[in-house]
Structure 1
Amino acid sequence: MASSASAPESFDRAEACVDAVLDKVGKRIVLGLPLGIGKANHFANALYARAEADPEISLTIFTALTLERPSGSSELERRFVQPLLDRLYQDYQDLAYNQARRKGLLPENVEVCEFFMQPGSLLNSSSAQQSYVSSNYTHVPRDLLDRGVNVVAQMVTPALDDSGDFSLSCNPDLTLPLLALARQRRYGPITMVGEVNSRLPFVGGDARVPASMFDVVLSGPVFNEDIFPAPNPPVRLTDYALGFHIAGLVKDGGTLQVGIGALGDAVCHVLGLRQNKNLDFVDILEALQTDKPSSLCKLPLETGRFELGIYGASEMVPEGFFHLRDAGVLVRKVYPDTALQQLLNEGRISETVDERMLLALRDIGRIQSPLSEQDTRFLQTMGIVDPSYSWRGHRFLDEGGEMEECDLHSSKGREKLLGDCAGKSLKLGTWLHGGFYLGSTRLYQRLRNMPTGDMAGINMTAIDFINDMLKNPDLKIAQRQHARFVNSAMMVTLNGAVISDGLEDGRVVSGVGGQYNFVAQAHELPGGRSIIALPSTRHSGGRVCSNIVWEYPHCTIPRHLRDMVVTEYGVADLRGKSDRDVIVAMLCIADSRFQQELLEKAQDAGKVETGYCIPDAFTNNTPERIQAVFTQGHRPGLLPYYPLGTDLTEEEGRLAVALKAVKEEGRKIWELWPILRQGLKACKSDSPEFRSVHACLDRMGFDRSDNFEHRLEAYVVAGALVRFYDERRPLGETAENITSGAAHTQSGSAAG
């Protein structure tokens, strides 16, 4: 690691940077790359090319979530994807090691290990499957050091002032704890490479680091590229049903963690409805829970508006958190002092600095009277004591050179101590702690343009602070009141074991990531709950399969950590229940098409009594019932396909909904015949009701189709648009809407 007094070497060519690194560490390199968007792609590609050309170089790359530009696995998908590549990903440099890995062409002197893979993207890559490392997110720094990491290469962004500092921005998550653990172990040197991209948003807090952290910096215009976007997926009614059930578990004054994807978008949108369209929220939630006995979930239903607000503590910072910020929900701040936080929790003080705050801190023994030097430093850091005072042996020396006693006993003394701080808000309040972020172009633009006050409340920090309780548990207990950790799963067994990372045959879909951390943390936090969410069914090869299963060869979360499981049909509170009661609760939130088969397996195993019958209230768990709830009256208008907006155009947004549905329906022509028949009618019609369908077909290039196979595909797409796209549901803001809106605002300003 670079010396605190030294400036990093600077290069404007990746190849020259590789030369410098090889000079420092030799030809055996264990390279740590951040997960997601924070990788130094130019440096990594140049280093990989060097290793590919020189077999004497031994290169191990240890990373996670290697992103790549989308590609289509079918003709339909390729037609959809190609314009996106030209518009959203034209600047992005794919990582060469990933392309070689996909093709089975990694040289023998290069190994790529990931602890979390882009979900489902590498199921058929033998190299990726064999080199996968199953590890908790918080254990990765340890694993990196054990493997001998000697180079870390990370994308950074420069400070906007003249300090020369950098921000780790999107990825302080592993870099900070890795370097801290290396210092603790007195580990050998780690060469730090910073690839500077001024398009990366500057985030302060713990992510702000001095330039001296780096040994080598790679900078120049060629590295200032747009950040990899992950367009928001369409949110379907199943996702919204999950979102309503989860939103009814979130307590005012509490803490929230959610992830990226349709589920996270749905949860955040529905929490916004709870705040700003509360009657509609309550109406829909009650409709989803009609005739359901409250015994299935012990927690009281939370339906009120957020008066205290909630605080975000999430390894992944989803775009939906900023939606909640706008909605007035994500507004609860926490502070980096246990005693102060406890006083706030108890309502003995407010966030406004006054004499009562000084007295309360004194009364609980957090500060002394007269104040010590340490007390003074703490109070000034938090914005409680006037910064103009300088402590001098139980006295203050003010700017005028006068001495004041550091005594809290008199009102006059307290007033003098507060000075200009009186009536102002406490400093260092944080409404969001995060480990990394990844999202749409809109998210990155928002972070770049965020007002200073809002940005000051975000602290991107080390993953061990977010994901576990080992460091400063008392502070985390004080901050993380009524925590709700929401994570998705692939399947859950009837006895409450969770499968989130792999298939039955052992192939890895994604990874453990931080899910285990959050589940364990929920059990340790007073009032904390882990919420595992999943649709009750999935489509596979044109067939409907249950995501609630009797057994599975492995699990991600063992049953002894079972807590709360949510499907579109309700909430099963499993904590502390017997195996029999857990199984019964899980049956009650399973799809009714599979309930009897699952029940019989439990009865055959002697886990449920032979005479048990599923209560009538839970025997209508069908997609039709969910559809009926959401299609009544004005409800569809509350449930946009893209509640947070989208990088897609209007036609692309519609097509994404339709193509996803087609993929689930099947691939054989007889499976798609009903869709194809509807599409044929739409394609042959000049009716205005099909105008949007024709616009979508033009976007897919079907206006130029000149053979029978392409015409069949066009009919399938048209039929899917007619069958699966609900015109009553708003699309949500698209890239075109946002651009035209911005242009309108600018022209309006100019006219004004």
Structure 2
Amino acid sequence: MTKPETFSAAEQCVDAVLEKVGKRIVLGLPLGIGKANHFANAIYARAEQDPEISLTIYTALTLERPSASSEIQRRFVQPLLDRLYSDYQDLAYNQARRKGLLPDNVEVCEFFMQPGSFLSTPSAQQSYVSANYTHVPRDLLDRGVNVVAQMVSPADDESGDFSLSSNPDLTLPLLKLADERGYRHITMVGEINPKLPFVGGDARVGRGVFDFLLQGDAFEQEIFPAPNPPIRLTDYALAFHIAGLVRDGGTLQIGIGALGDAICHVLTLRQTKNEDYRDILQSLNEDAEQSLCELPLELGVFQQGLYGASEMVPEGFLHLRRVGVMKREVYADATLQRLLNEGRVSNVVNEELLVALRDAERIQCPLTEADTDFLQRAGIVDPSYSWRGHRFLDKHGELEDCDLHSSVGRKKLLGSREGKKLPGGTWLHGGFYLGSTAMYQTLRDMPASEMAGINMTAIDYINELQKGRALKIAQRQHARFVNSAMMVTLNGAVISDGLEDGRVVSGVGGQYNFVAQAHELPGGRSVIAVASTRISGGRIRSNIVWQYPHCTIPRHLRDIVVTEYGVADLRGKTDRDVIVAMLSIADSRFQKELLDKAKAAGKVEQGYEIPEPFSNNTPERIHAVFSQGHRMPLLPYYPLGTDLTREEAQLAIGLKAVKEEGRKIWELWPVLRKGLVACRSSAPEYREVHACLDRMAFGYSDTFEHRLEAYVVAGALVSFVDKDRPLGEVSDARGIRSNIPAPD
């Protein structure tokens, strides 16, 4: 096998690629952190210089360092850039398209954009590709992809192998589909970064996969961190309702963001502080005299545990693993998996396992050569045996019968494997990961025995059932696929990717895949989570709407919808009953208006009224539930920790809230007034506020405008940072985390 050519400079690699491929380049870049940024920037720079080069970049989720559009944002962001992103190389094509400066010979197509980042960027909106995640390899081939450039991690042994690590999701199925189609050779470029965690399993590939490699100190950089966001009480309310749907012994998929962090934390509470979990969940549901969901409320601790099958591997899964929740292991054989599900066997190698496989007709008696191969690959039959025409040749050259009828024969077959744990168990299948610096360090430090339970793999393995259907059905019992939405209509259609005027906020991603999969899996359910309201331009708006010009998930795939006020089970219900259920989990300030529209359309009878138990859906009720007793200390702002310092963590909470309040000075007057008092006071209760103002360098504010900004920031801290809630684990200026309690 030809060794890949290695370069220490990206420009030299670009020369080699152009010589091999020509001047028409269709470049596939992985989504998220897996991009080969140095190569991408070098080939983009070459296309800028040479108009004869035609460069199409097809990718998703292009990450960029935080930027500031105001003075307040600049004061917050600049120290983060210095501490967390000092050696990160932004992608030049991203900056160019944001400024409208992409040359005519360069096109950038994304099928999923960083949420909300490109609403005002025409080139990004025009070049967006609406596609299911699993269809992207097909689309790439149809577009003529001829180069893929990916960050890879080197093995620490003598094999010379690499790991696709964070992003085997599209690379693996793309290469497989290309081979099946007899597609022309795709030039593979690997950018080697030892700081990228090495993940084995399907993500481990041989050196021969690559045509060119980039290696050297210039490419050894810290991985792009995505600091965990603060969690609102609304997210915690959603998380408790969702945790009450997650069945022990089941399967879980969730995404990145505050809600995913909240769900993982609440599932941790369910396992480690079960009495408190029950108390809060039942309090959130106590006013509802009639259930909107036929599924039983899941209150117990996890005995069997959960298995993760998630396109996005969130940091919270590692926390769930640590507390004994994410521990259900699945195996790569459908019959074996079904026997485990039914409790007919355990994951310990013994005679009962051999007998059960025989009785299930997975193996024959006497064993065939294929049976023997399966049993040895599965770690059941002693590896020292070799099959010889219905007999075994042991390591001493003696022939043994392949008969399973006698205990003596079975024990001989098991040999050294008897009593040992069944190998090959996987507790997490993932497509890509993205998270904080702590997540990356955890993966780098993970023992090999623990890492063996993680299989980063092709996205079509996780997101659909078409290939290996029987195995996936056996593995994914009681599946709960949790995805967020922007809005949901009263008839159950889901809006997750775009605005009313057609502008794209993010993309479809894998949401449709998971919703469709949930309908096909026995016992599977799709859970759409949406906060009942949002604040936009200082106004409260309902996220439960009567209608919308487009949808991401059509109403015929409606399943379970969750707001902070409860769970609506929509599967199989009539339009009238769906609308009534959705009204019951809507914010009460909007229920009458929504109901009137349903009545006007003849979808609900004229005499219908919102039942009393659901007529008090207000933020005040949610806050009252969480404020009782010792509940608030159980709900930290950053339950998984954060890369932010103590002051930054508080500022992130306050600034996010004040941004939602409005932009006009009269809209912010109540906040500004509180800030004025705090800035002028030396009372102990404002000590935290002054520390945060120092972090923002407002001590040197000598203009009226800067003083006004300081008052707004101080007011946001006073108004929106709840002192009864702890921050969680935060970082110091060196990036070292420590657990910080709530201030006195």
Q: TM-score band (shorter)?
A: over 0.9
2:686 to 663, 679, 690: 690
- SS state at 1:333 partner: coil
1:103 and 1:594 map into 2 onto residues whose CA distance is 40
The runs of at least 4 consecutive aligned structure 1 residues that moved more than 3 Å come to: 737-743
**Which range moves more in the overlay, 441-450 or 74-83?**
74-83
Q: Deviation per CA, 1:169-222, whole angstroms, max 9, x where unpaired?
A: 000000000001001100011001101000000000000000000111111111
2:731/2:738 contact within 8 Å kept: no
2:737 and 2:454 map into 1 onto residues whose CA distance is 28
Match of 2:302 in 1: 306
Match of 2:132 in 1: 136
1:416 pairs with 2:448:
no
Match of 2:609 in 1: 613
1:294 and 1:421 map into 2 onto residues whose CA distance is 54
Match of 1:80 in 2: 76
Match of 2:537 in 1: 541
**Which range moves more in the overlay, 282-291 or 432-441?**
282-291
1:381/1:427 contact within 8 Å kept: no
Q: Deviation per CA, 1:446-473, whole angstroms, max 9, x where unpaired?
A: 0000111210000000000000010011
1:501 and 1:73 map into 2 onto residues whose CA distance is 24
Matches within 5 A, 1:15-34: 15-34=11-30
Q: Deviation per CA, 1:236-289, whole angstroms, max 9, x where unpaired?
A: 100000000000000000000000000000000000001110110010011111
1:740 and 1:428 map into 2 onto residues whose CA distance is 35
1:586 pairs with 2:612:
no
Give the residue type in structure 2 aligned to 1:521: Q
- Aligned-pair CA distance for 1:741: 6.5
Matches within 5 A, 1:189-268: 189-268=185-264
Match of 1:53 in 2: 49
- SS state at 1:439 partner: coil
- Aligned-pair CA distance for 1:407: 1.3
- SS state at 2:151 partner: strand
2:729/2:737 contact within 8 Å kept: no
2:83 and 2:271 map into 1 onto residues whose CA distance is 36
1:288 and 1:12 map into 2 onto residues whose CA distance is 59
Residue 128 and residue 713 in structure 1: after superposition, are their counterparts in 2 closer, same or farther (change >3 A)?
Answer: same
2:154/2:198 contact within 8 Å kept: yes
Match of 1:441 in 2: 437
2:480/2:527 contact within 8 Å kept: yes
Matches within 5 A, 1:47-446: 47-446=43-442
Give the residue type in structure 2 aligned to 1:163: S
- Aligned-pair CA distance for 1:738: 9.4
- Aligned-pair CA distance for 1:651: 0.3
Matches within 5 A, 1:729-748: 729-736=725-732
1:654 and 1:742 map into 2 onto residues whose CA distance is 15
1:663 pairs with 2:675:
no
2:732 and 2:562 map into 1 onto residues whose CA distance is 35
1:461 and 1:500 map into 2 onto residues whose CA distance is 25
2:141 and 2:627 map into 1 onto residues whose CA distance is 54
2:544 and 2:69 map into 1 onto residues whose CA distance is 29
- Aligned-pair CA distance for 1:356: 0.3
1:561 pairs with 2:545:
no
Match of 1:463 in 2: 459
Give the residue type in structure 1 aligned to 2:148: V
1:495 to 491, 494, 500: 491
Give the residue type in structure 2 aligned to 1:678: K
- SS state at 1:356 partner: helix
1:158/1:196 contact within 8 Å kept: yes
2:640/2:728 contact within 8 Å kept: yes
1:697/1:718 contact within 8 Å kept: yes
Q: Deviation per CA, 1:64-103, whole angstroms, max 9, x where unpaired?
A: 0000001112211111100000000011000000011001
**Which range moves more in the overlay, 134-143 or 74-83?**
74-83
Match of 1:746 in 2: none
- SS state at 2:732 partner: helix
1:335/1:429 contact within 8 Å kept: yes
2:357 and 2:66 map into 1 onto residues whose CA distance is 55
Number of equivalences: 739
1:538/1:547 contact within 8 Å kept: yes
Q: Deviation per CA, 1:346-403, whole angstroms, max 9, x where unpaired?
A: 1000000100000110111111112112111111111111111122222222222222
- TM value normalised by structure 1: 0.97
1:707 to 703, 708, 718: 703
2:643/2:735 contact within 8 Å kept: no
- Aligned-pair CA distance for 1:338: 0.2
- Aligned-pair CA distance for 1:739: 5.7
Matches within 5 A, 1:506-545: 506-545=502-541
1:585 and 1:219 map into 2 onto residues whose CA distance is 57
1:435/1:466 contact within 8 Å kept: yes
Match of 1:648 in 2: 644
Q: Deviation per CA, 1:621-643, whole angstroms, max 9, x where unpaired?
A: 00000111111111010000000
1:26 and 1:328 map into 2 onto residues whose CA distance is 53
1:499 and 1:544 map into 2 onto residues whose CA distance is 18
Residue 175 and residue 740 in structure 1: after superposition, are their counterparts in 2 closer, same or farther (change >3 A)?
Answer: closer
Residue 416 and residue 137 in structure 1: after superposition, are their counterparts in 2 closer, same or farther (change >3 A)?
Answer: same
Q: Deviation per CA, 1:692-729, whole angstroms, max 9, x where unpaired?
A: 11000000110111111111111111111111111111
Match of 1:475 in 2: 471
1:14 and 1:291 map into 2 onto residues whose CA distance is 63
Identity of aligned residues (%): 76
**Which range moves more in the overlay, 707-716 or 233-242?**
707-716
- Aligned-pair CA distance for 1:295: 3.1
Q: Deviation per CA, 1:643-669, whole angstroms, max 9, x where unpaired?
A: 000000000000000001100111111
1:577 pairs with 2:573:
yes
2:602 and 2:305 map into 1 onto residues whose CA distance is 46
- SS state at 2:291 partner: helix
1:145/1:182 contact within 8 Å kept: yes
Runs of at least 5 residues in structure 2 that lack an aligned partner in the other structure: 740-744
2:83/2:733 contact within 8 Å kept: no
1:32 and 1:674 map into 2 onto residues whose CA distance is 50
1:251/1:302 contact within 8 Å kept: yes
1:542/1:664 contact within 8 Å kept: yes
1:102 and 1:392 map into 2 onto residues whose CA distance is 67
- SS state at 1:733 partner: strand
Residue 420 and residue 193 in structure 1: after superposition, are their counterparts in 2 closer, same or farther (change >3 A)?
Answer: same
1:738 and 1:153 map into 2 onto residues whose CA distance is 32
2:65 and 2:403 map into 1 onto residues whose CA distance is 63
Give the residue type in structure 1 aligned to 2:654: A
2:427 and 2:732 map into 1 onto residues whose CA distance is 31
Give the residue type in structure 2 aligned to 1:620: N
